Amino acid sequence: MTTKYSEEPPDEVSRFSVSTNAEITIQIAEREGHQFIVIKEQNPAGTVSTAEQTIEIPAALLPELKRAVAVLEENFGDDDEPEPRSQHPVSFAHESEAEFARILDFYDIAWQYEPRTFAIEWDDEGNVASSFTPDFYLPDHDLYIELTTAKQPLVTRKNRKVRRLHELYPDVNIKVLYASDYRKLIDKFAASGRFQDDGSL
């Protein structure tokens, strides 16, 4: 069965060789309005071998894929004795997330940043069409935290995703921290003297 993507040629992200007779390409393709990460093992022209192998990953699962790659890099790094790392070497998407992480660290609350992605919508073929990745997970409390400090249209869309997550995963505990709640938390923390003069922690 041949998978039909859109007529636009896929965007090639990477190409590398794994042996003298096999080459890997990573492309971004689109089908029926949904994007996919397509990983292909191909053989050089003129060679006779088995048919190419293809792995297709919905782009909606990219956060989960990034998390898996980070775990692999941590466990299978080249250095036998890696340099000491800070407790949470994380690149945050927003400064509000970095502030929240510093507050959790100050109160010695264990946390993980975007550790899991939940599929919340599927297309007619069963492919993931939409997913949701909560900002933080507090393992000692079995609680996910989603920060919402954006404008109202984005808040409304995020609330819809949280409700959908509740419907599909009723055992998952999640709390949404809205802008007013977050500001009160920051103000309380600042009043404790933990902020420096430049506003950093």
pLDDT in tens, 130-179: 899 999 999 999 999 999 876 667 788 888 999 999 999 999 999 998 87
Q: Parallel, antiparallel, or unpaired: how do β-strands 128-132 and 174-178 relate?
A: unpaired
DSSP H or E run through 144? strand 143-148
Instruction: Say whether pLDDT at 185 is over 60.
Output: yes
Domain boundaries, the chain: 11-57, 87-191
Beta bridge partners of residue 146, listed in sequence order: 176
Taking the C-alpha atoms of residue 101 and residue 165, their distance in angstroms, rounded to an integer, is 23
Topology of domain 87-191 in CATH is Endonuclease; Chain A (3.40.960)
Mean pLDDT of the chain: 75
Residue 6 has φ and ψ, to the nearest 5°, of -65, 165
Element (H, E) at 29: strand 22-31
What b/e readout covers 123-158, taking b as 16+ CB neighbours within 10 angstroms?
eeeebbbebbbbbbbbeeeeebbbbbbeeeeeeeeb
